[in-house]
Every structure is written in C-alpha cells, then in structure tokens.
Amino acid sequence: MTEPTVFQLSSPGRHGFDVPASDVPDFTLPESFVRQDLPLPEMSELDVVRHFTHLSQKNYAIDLGFYPLGSCTMKYNPKINEVTSRLSGFANTHPLQPLDTVQGNLYLMYTLQEWLKEISGFAGVTLMPAAGAHGELTGMLIIQKYHKDRGDIKRKRILIPDSAHGTNPASSAMIGMEIVPLSSDARGNVDLEALKALCDENLAGLMLTNPNTLGLFDEHVEQVIQLVHAAGGLVYGDGANLNALLGIVRPGDLGFDVMHFNLHKTFSTPHGGGGPGSGPVAVCQKLVDFLPDPVISVVEAGTEEVAPLYGYAHPAKSIGRVKTYHGHFGMLVRAFTYIAMHGTDGLRDIAEKAVLNANYMMHRLKSTYTLSYDRTCMHEFVLEGVWKDLPGIHALDIAKRLMDYKFHPPTNYFPLIVHEALMIEPTETESLDTLDAFCDALLKIAEEARTQPELLHDAPHNTPVRRCDELKAAKDLVLCCYPLEELQK
Amino acid sequence: MFTPHSDYDVEVMLKSIGIEKLEDLFKEIPERFRFPGLNLPPRMTEMEASDELESIAASNGTTKDMLSFLGAGAYDHYIPAAVDMLLRRGEFYTAYTPYQPEISQGTLQAIFEYQSLICTLTGMDVSNASHYDGATAAAEAVILAWHHFRGKRGKVLVSRAVNPQYRQVIRTYMQATDNLTIAGDDAETGLDPNLDKFIAQIDNNTALVLVQYPDFFGRIVDYRPLIEAAHAQGALVAVAVNPTALGILTPPGEIGADIVVGEGQPLGIPLSFGGPYLGLFAVKEPLLRKIAGRIVGETVDVEGQLAYVLTLTAREQHIRRDKATSNICSNQGLMTLASAIYLTLLGKEGFRKLSNLCYQKAHYAAGEVSEVPGFSLAFPDQPFYHEFVVRAEQPVDEVLEHLRGHDILGGYDLGEDYPELKGCLLMAVTEKINKADIDYLKGALSEVDHD
Amino acid sequence: MLFPKDLKYQKTDEWVKVENGIATIGISDYAQDSLSDIVYVEFAVDPGDSVEAGANLATIESVKAAAEVLFPVSGTVLEINEGLADKPEILNSDPYGAAWLVKVKVADETELAGLLDSEAYEAYCQER
C-alpha cells in the first residue's frame, strides 16, 4: 500500500501547529524581499502524525530484527541513551554559551576524550568529526600536515589495502594524496612483499583496517606498521571494526599513529536511517599538536575542594576546524552513557561475545557456503554467495530471499576482493536463538537455491515493496515531489 | 550489560567451534599487548548511570533557566512535541541506511519528502539527503565548483559576512588543494552590504562566489547584482541560508543562486551544545550530477508499485572510491526526518507565521535596545531578519557580565572574529522570546554603568 | 560480443579508428556489457584541449558502477559527441557506431603501434 506524500495529503486551508500571536508592534519587511509564495503542505497535526507513523511501519530496524551487516556493528541501541541525551541540561545548551554555564558538557566531553584515549592507547583525542568518513578526512589531514610541517613535501603516497572501505580512498583523494592499492596475501593479511616494495621516501602513510573487512586480524600487523614507520610513513587505523578489540588489544599499543572511532558502530549510538554518526579521532603524542581546533581541556586544575575548570585548547599546529562548534554532542552523551555502564569488564565482554558469535555462525555455515579464508575470524566473516554448479544464483538473490525470512541481509558485494561477498557481523547483543535462526535460514536458502531457485530470483515476496527498478530511478530522475500547483490540478 | 549469553550458551558455542575457552579466540593478538586492563571507572547499572548523567546535566545553565539572545548560527526555537515523539519510534531511529529499499521505504520516503520540502523552501530543483552541517555543506559547495571547472578556475570568493566558522572549515577542507585561492573575506574588502569591493573581485578565474542570507549579522542583502556579475563571468553562486528566514524572504532559487547550502538546525532540532545538526544542500538542475551525498529518487517495483530508492549512487564513495568527489557516507539521517516533520507540522501558514514572528520580535528588541543610552545599532540603515548587531560604549564583556547577573545571555561578542566590530554584540530573537522578556532586557541594559 | 576488425583497442577497453590523422574513440562492446545499463556520460575535456595518451577522457556511469575512459592517443580534441548527453543508452546499443565519444587530431601516429588489434583484444577479453 503506497503512502501518499505530504504534498499529496495536503489540502488548502488545513491547519496544523498553532503559532502564537505577536505581542509586539508590527514592522514591515521591505517589499523587494517579501516572499510571494510558500507552497509547503497544509495538514492537520493528526494527519502528520499518522503519515509518519505509517512510514515508520514500512521500515526494518534493530528494534524489529537482526541486522548481520558486516562492518556496521548493528548492535542494540540502549534506550537509556535516548533519555540521557535528551536531558534538558544537555539539549538546551547553546554551543556558544560562556564556559562557566556549560561545565557539565565540557566535563562530559573531556572525560569521554580520556576514556577513548585509554580504550585505544593514544595520547590525544578530538570529538569534533561528525562521522567516520569525516574522521578519516581529519586523520589524513593530520598526517599530511605532519609531513609538510617537517618539510617532507615529497610524501604524497597513501597505501590502501584492496579490501578497504570506499571512504578510505575517497578521503585521501579529497586532500590530493596519491592512492596506491595494496594487495592481500592468501591468508587475508597485507601482502608484506608488496608493502616492502612501496616503502620509500614518497610514502606518506598506510590506511589499515584491523581487523580488516574480511574480519581477520592481520597476523603481521606489528611488522606492517614497523615497515611503514621505518620508511618514514605514518599508519592510519580505520576504527570501524573496533568492536572486536575492546579490552582485547589497543591499536595505539600496536603502533598505529592515528585512528578514528565510529561511535554509531562500536559505542551503540543509533544509526537513525543513515545518521547522525560521530567519528572522533585519536592520535599518538607526536600528532597531538595537529588536532582540530578546539579540543576540550582543563584550563584550571582542580583542587581537593574545587573541581577543575574545563575549556577549549587550541593545538599549536592545528589542521583547523572541521565542522561548526564542538561535534555531535548528542551522540557523545550517548557514547559516554554507554562506556560508563560498561567499564573495563563490560567492554571486554562486548568484544569476547562479538567474536564468539561470529565464529559460532561461521562454523555453522562454512560447510554449505564457501568461506573465503579459513581462519579464526574476529567479529565478522565473509562468505561467497555463489556455488560453481549453480551459475544462476548470486549473492544478491540470497540477500533478497533473506528478507522473506524477516532478516536484513548481510553486507553484499563488499569487500571487493571476494567474489559475490556476503559479509556477516552478528554483534554481541544477539542471542544464540537469533544466530541459530539466521543460520537455519541461510541453510534453507542454500537448499532452495538448488530445488526452487525462482524463490530466490523473485525475492523478496513479503516486504512492503518488492525488487525495485533501479535503472528507471537513474534514468527517469524524479528527485522531488511534484510542485503543489501541479498536484492540485 | 547487553550481552544475553548465559554460561550454558557460551558452553554450547565453544563446543560447536571446537575451542576450550573464550581467550582461545584471540591467539593472533600479539601476546604482550593482549588483554590490557583498561583504567576506566567501575561499571554502572542503568540506574546509576542515569543518576550520574542527570547530575552532570543539572550542573549546566540552559536556555530554559536563562533568557538567551545567543544566535550566531544556532537558534533556540520551539520544537513541537510531535517531532520528538515520532523520532523516538524505534523503526526510524534504530534503522540502518536504506541500502535495501524493500525494507526501508519509511526512511526513503521521508528523505524524499525532506528533499522536496527543502526545494520548496529554497526555490531550488534538487536537494541531497543532507551534509553534516552548514559549514561542511559550504565546503562541499566549494569542492563542487572546483571540480565543475576541472581545476581550471583557481579562485573562490567568500564574503566576510559569511559565518567565520564556515570560512574556517572551507579553508581546512581546501588546504591541500594547490592552485585554489580562497579570497574576498579580508578586512579591506570589508563588510559593506552593497558589496562593491567584493563584486569587483569576480573575474573569469572565479569558480564560486559564496554569500550568506541573511548574513552572519542578520542583515538582509539584495544579491541580485552580485549574482548577475558572477554569472556574467561564468562563475557559480552559492548562498548559505537560515531556513527560518525563508518563510518570509524571497528564496535564493528565485534570484538565480546555483547552489544553496545552510544550517537546518532551526527546523525542529535542539541546540544540544552544537550537534548533531543538519547541512542543507540544494542545486539547480544543471548541477544535479555534481551533487555529493545520498539522493533518493522515485521508481516502481516489479509489480509496478511506487517505490523509493537511493539513486545516482555511482557518484558515491562506495563505487567511485578514489574518484569520488566527496567521501561522505553517513549523513544526518534522523535530523532530516526531524526537519521534514517540523516543516509539515507548521505547514504553509504556520511556517510563514513563525518566520514573521521572529522578524517582528527582533525588530521590537532592536528598537528597544537602541533606545538605551550607551547602546546603538551598528547597521541602522540595513534591513535585517532576526539578528542584529548592537554597538556598546562599555566593553562587551562587561555588558555580558552585567546581563548574566540578571540571568540573561546577552549575545555573541563579535570582537574576536571581527576586529573592526570590537565593542559589538550579535543578538538573536526567536519566537520563544516575549515582549516582557525584551522589556526586561532593556531594563537590565539601562543599569549598565556608563562612566 | 563484437570486436570489429578495422579498429584498434586498449586493455582499458577503448577502441580507436584513425582516418586522415583524426582518431575517433569509443568504448568496446565488452566495456558496455560489463557496465550494464549506462545512465550518464561526463566528459573530462572540451574541444580544443590538448591531451596525453592515458589521460581521462570521460566517466561513464551505470546504475551500479562508474568507469573512467582513457585516451589511447595524444593530440587535440576536435569534437565531443554531445548526443550522448540525452541518450546515454546508445553506448549500450551501438558502442562502435552512433556512440563514439570524441574525435581527436592525432599528435603522433606512432603511438598507434602500441595498441591491440581485434584478435589480440578478443583474446585478452576471453582470459579475463
């Protein structure tokens, strides 16, 4: 059942939210600036509420079911986060308020900075970046400026494994770096020989996701980092897969120089249908001066009686500001709540159960689906969604059929180095029953692929809409509701 | 905490995998770094965490317990109850990016409606599904213009009356682009709203001209001559807007803007100490393929039913990788929903009325404040929307301190960002401020000691 | 799959036909088949530009992919096929005919020696 758009539901003269009357004298806007026409929809409040409620009912969400999306870490979004982030003391603070009126906010941000440093093993943190990709941009700008500041301007080359998420090369390209792909070896690690050949005086750095997008912990990670360092380069850590490492190992200890966090992955802040995220960045000591301006710091040390005074510091060689104000404060409150509730033991428990869940599923599925790399996986693993003897079946078909079983499909066609990839990440908040139900569904689908392939090709059958014509969407571009005047004809 | 595993579950699973204990899963981690004890406070239950966060929040002063005239890019508007109630639906906020359209029609249609509402508001042809905030949207406009001319035009002109933080972010983003100069916002070119010196710098090496509407000081400027001059030189024009103002002001799309960017926070999004906010980004049709970020389009499914999908995805990072013009992946998702609900709830009449109310109250406030001895309007002859600049004889920090004594947040001290406006204060007035509040402000200002 | 004999090819899937010092360039049948439904072409050059072999000629977008087209020869761009803007789908239906991309005045005809003939290109496509 198609839900009409707000423009179609609109009816002239309908009336929603009441704006109070003016209690001041009238002032006239100069005629030349007066807007003639504002064809926004006209609906009653009830109709607006019904409309958006109807829309919500067409969505799949974590609150409804399992999302085994590799590298997305679709864990449960705790409800308490939604309460704490909405507290009036947080929600009603303006970003430019005087310091003494927002010490609570600054304390929260400073403490979160310290916690993230501790969790990851780094010396400095910025909470400003708005998302993972934004954090990558920030981190790469830091690396670039570090080299430039030392007069090392020849270093323009960034090595990026062929399994990397698309934002990695995109972020580096945005700032004019030269991207060189790095191949993986047969066990899914960075190919050391290939790396050695590229370590020269033009090397600015390496962007490494560890565990990588195959869910594998690089067996030579320390050596990889040492090789890059020896050549004068820096190592950027894409922290999307941090869920596997909480309390297990700290990227800073392994030698990474800078990394970003995805609070909307590892630290449970909700995905919101595509955002907002939050992508703090942590750096080693020698990069602290390059952090975005400002960072939260202690401006006056505390004593036994008096709390410290928190404020803004301006890193001496800062890359500059990367967005307005201080970052996605509302998401920082959620992450703070989450970490406070977990503590050291709780964080380690997250990683252990996330990795346990993934390995359990991998073992249940590996005899039916081809496993690209037969190693202990971390929090995710990759299967191939094809069988040599069934040329008509693709990962896409399996993904679509899963929706009939009321599951969101895993990530497909990524990473690019696996043929017809299905990347599965259960996260730690899913129970054994859910994991078994999902594995059962995948095994059933494997059977269906042989006996009733049309079920896969025509899938999904039971969803609000069925397979969509993406070619038509790209060719006959309709990106906007029709103007109101047209609809009213 | 949220891990559901019983001891029995763990036993079953370990057995199925064929290992003895959980630690065996981590043998590949270098031993000397394995299992670091993290120095974090002991874990808390939900009840304890709730207490802790409440205590932290309570230590702040807010726009609820102080009378606030702070604006400068973030505005305190009333958010209708229905907005947050709808946002709290788990189907919306715990949903993923709508890559599987069959089970994401709610999110997709909401974004499609958001895109349409923004086009209606700004007078543009196509909107994307958002950028992070107004500043990063402005930076993406600069990147768009740079690529549009394939790097052959090396100058971007940015007005000094554009929000200083936007200009900082643009420079951060473009710092590695050799052959590109960001210019026009120096003190010499200045703040003159008739823009002569600024317009004089537009030439055939200019890729983009960026202005703000209303500008950072709340002033309403007629950009038609500037747009004409820019187009005569083949340059693109981007206008950064405050969306509330577009309830009563002629939208930039109608006067020839090629790109509109802006901060959508005033549209149903709380102040929340600076984020998450909403970056607006809309263009005229010829630039549609150059737009970064996600876009939702209309199509049909295999049964001919109307459906919405992410489209033009070949531009994005997951396909173009190092050839993508932007790296954006996550955007502001839930915030676009908030603004769509807000705009629909207020609707045609409500939004216009609200927009007008801010205008009226700000003009009353400006009049009252300028009547107080020692205070005058810095730009008395310039039309303005809901912000205005007050020049004080007394040092601004002393004025603000005095107002604090009356539980008033007086506004934003412009002296640091604009040396030529030392001694000036930027004040914003929204619909939340009453006549009585303004009279109270006037009373407090009258007490400021003038030696 | 078609591999017209009178054309030269590159491993990056462009074809070239040279007549009287003017090279007409397009993408091969193999390329359009890999991309599938093409929805947009964005040229990276204008008539009058000097170009080097290997430089970016255009970007072709399909629903799920995008590909760079590279110049197989150096020279000066004479003409770009404006007709593709409205009907990008002809790249799928007629890649060797109506869907030519650019015409270039060749700077150095010896560059053509490095290109593949129809048989060599076909063999290359078969082993991919």
- Find the closest chain B residue to C63 by CA distance: B314
Among A53-67, A177-191, C5-19, C43-57, top mean pLDDT goes to A53-67
User: CB distance C39–A470 less than 8 Å?
Assistant: no
Q: Tell me how close the Cα of C31 comes to any Cα of chain A, in angstroms.
A: 18
Question: Are A172 and A42 in the same domain?
Answer: no
- What's the whole-number mean pLDDT along residues C58-77? 90
Tens digit of pLDDT for each residue in B342-387? Answer: 999 999 999 999 999 999 999 999 999 999 999 999 999 999 999 9
Q: What is the pTM of this model?
A: 0.95
Question: Are A323 and A454 in the same domain?
Answer: no
Facing residue for B351 by CB, picked from A40, A92, A473: A40
Q: Tell me how close the Cα of A300 comes to any Cα of chain B, in angstroms.
A: 18
- Mutation pick from A96, A355, A367, A407 vs chain B, by most beta carbons of B within 10 Å, is A96
For helices B46-58 and A329-365, give the axis angle rounded to 10 degrees: 160
Structural Rg of chain A based on CA atoms: 25
Question: Are A291 and A329 in the same domain?
Answer: yes
Q: Tell me how close the Cα of C35 comes to any Cα of chain A, in angstroms.
A: 12
Residues of C in contact with B320 (CB under 8 A): 66
Residue A174 included in any domain: yes
Cα A437 to its chain centre, rounded Å, is 26
**Residue B327's pLDDT band (cuts 50, 70, 90):** confident
Question: Are A298 and A385 in the same domain?
Answer: no
Question: Are A409 and A320 in the same domain?
Answer: no
User: CB distance B93–A273 less than 8 Å?
Assistant: yes
Question: Are A210 and A302 in the same domain?
Answer: yes
Instruction: Tell me which residues of chain B, numbers 216 to 255, contact chain C at a CB-CB cutoff of 8 Å.
Output: none
User: CB distance B314–C68 less than 8 Å?
Assistant: no
Mean confidence (pLDDT) of chain C: 91
Residue A476 included in any domain: no
- What's the whole-number mean pLDDT along residues B32-54? 97
Residue C8 pLDDT greater than 60, yes or no: yes
- What's the whole-number mean pLDDT along residues B135-147? 96
Residue range of the domain that includes A417: 349-471
Tens digit of pLDDT for each residue in B164-215? Answer: 999 999 999 999 998 999 999 999 999 999 999 999 999 999 999 999 999 9
Question: Are A144 and A286 in the same domain?
Answer: yes
Output b/e per residue, B251-282; b: 16+ Cβ within 10 A.
bbbebbbbbbbbbbbbbbbbbbbbbbbbbbbb
Higher-confidence residue: A83 or A411? A83
Residue A24 included in any domain: yes
The predicted pLDDT at position A306 comes to 93
Residue A115 included in any domain: yes
Domains and CATH numbers, chain B: 67-78+348-450 (3.90.1150.10), 82-342 (3.40.640.10)
Residue B322 pLDDT greater than 80, yes or no: no
Q: Is A203 on the interface with B (CB under 8 A)?
A: no
The predicted pLDDT at position B451 comes to 52
Question: Are A372 and A309 in the same domain?
Answer: no
Tens digit of pLDDT for each residue in A216-235? Answer: 999 999 999 999 999 999 99
User: CB distance C42–B314 less than 8 Å?
Assistant: no
- Find the closest chain A residue to C85 by CA distance: A475
Percent of chain C with pLDDT over 70: 100
Question: Are A191 and A331 in the same domain?
Answer: yes
Count of CB pairs separated by less than 8 Å, A with C? 13
DSSP C112: G
Question: Are A389 and A332 in the same domain?
Answer: no
Q: What is the separation, in whole angstroms, between the first and last Cα of chain A?
A: 24
Tens digit of pLDDT for each residue in A432-474? Answer: 999 999 999 999 999 999 999 999 999 999 999 999 999 999 9
Residues A191/A183, Cβ–Cβ less than 8 Å:
yes
User: CB distance A274–B107 less than 8 Å?
Assistant: yes
Residues of A in contact with C39 (CB under 8 A): 471, 474-475
Question: Are A355 and A328 in the same domain?
Answer: no
- Find the closest chain A residue to C88 by CA distance: A475
Q: Tell me how close the Cα of C119 comes to any Cα of chain B, in angstroms.
A: 31
Q: Tell me how close the Cα of B314 comes to any Cα of chain C, in angstroms.
A: 5
Domain boundaries, chain C: 8-106
The predicted pLDDT at position B312 comes to 86
Whether ipTM tops 0.95, in short, is: yes
- Find the closest chain A residue to C39 by CA distance: A475
Residues of A in contact with C40 (CB under 8 A): 474
User: CB distance A475–C64 less than 8 Å?
Assistant: no
User: CB distance B314–C63 less than 8 Å?
Assistant: yes
- Give the E-state strand segments of A174-291 in sequence order: 178-182, 203-209, 234-238, 258-260, 281-283
User: CB distance C44–B150 less than 8 Å?
Assistant: yes
The predicted pLDDT at position C66 comes to 84
- Rounded CA-CA distance A208/A168 in Å is 9
Domains in chain A: how many in total? 3
Residues of B in contact with A326 (CB under 8 A): 273-275
Tens digit of pLDDT for each residue in B59-112? Answer: 999 999 999 999 999 999 999 999 999 999 999 999 999 999 999 999 999 999
**Residue B319's pLDDT band (cuts 50, 70, 90):** confident
Interface residues of C toward A, Cβ cutoff 8 Å, are: 37, 39-40, 63-64, 89
Residues of A in contact with B320 (CB under 8 A): 166, 170
Q: Tell me how close the Cα of B313 comes to any Cα of chain A, in angstroms.
A: 9
- What's the whole-number mean pLDDT along residues B34-63? 97
Nearest to residue A143, comparing CAs of A322, A319, A327, A321? A319
- Find the closest chain A residue to B317 by CA distance: A166
Q: Tell me how close the Cα of A449 comes to any Cα of chain B, in angstroms.
A: 21
Q: Is B32 on the interface with C (CB under 8 A)?
A: no
User: CB distance B275–A176 less than 8 Å?
Assistant: no
CATH architecture of C8-106: Beta Barrel (2.40)
Residues of A in contact with B325 (CB under 8 A): 174
User: CB distance C66–B289 less than 8 Å?
Assistant: no
Instruction: Tell me which residues of chain A, numbers 454 to 483, contact chain C at a CB-CB cutoff of 8 Å.
Output: 470-471, 473-475
Percent of chain B with pLDDT over 70: 99
A118, amino acid identity: E
Q: Is A153 on the interface with C (CB under 8 A)?
A: no
Higher-confidence residue: B182 or C67? B182
User: CB distance A474–C39 less than 8 Å?
Assistant: yes
Residue A489 included in any domain: no
User: CB distance A5–B10 less than 8 Å?
Assistant: no
Facing residue for B289 by CB, picked from C40, C65, C68: C40
Mean confidence (pLDDT) of chain A: 95
Question: Are A320 and A354 in the same domain?
Answer: no
Residue A488 pLDDT greater than 60, yes or no: no
DSSP A406: T
Facing residue for A408 by CB, picked from B93, B103, B311: B103
Facing residue for A470 by CB, picked from C40, C63, C89: C63
Q: Which residues is B240 bridged to in the sheet?
A: B212, B261
CATH of the domain at A102: 3.40.640.10
CATH of the domain at A426: 3.90.1150.10
Tens digit of pLDDT for each residue in C84-116? Answer: 888 899 999 999 999 999 999 999 888 888 899
- Mutation pick from C59, C84, C86 vs chain B, by most beta carbons of B within 10 Å, is C59
Write phi, then psi, for B64 (nearest 5 degrees): -90, -35
Q: Which residues contact B7 (CB under 8 A, 6 or more apart)?
A: none
Which subunits have 3 or more CB–CB pairs within 8 Å of chain A?
A: B, C
**Residue A489's pLDDT band (cuts 50, 70, 90):** very low
Residue A77 included in any domain: no
- Rounded CA-CA distance A112/A118 in Å is 10
Mean confidence (pLDDT) of chain B: 95
DSSP C116: B
Residue B144 pLDDT greater than 50, yes or no: yes
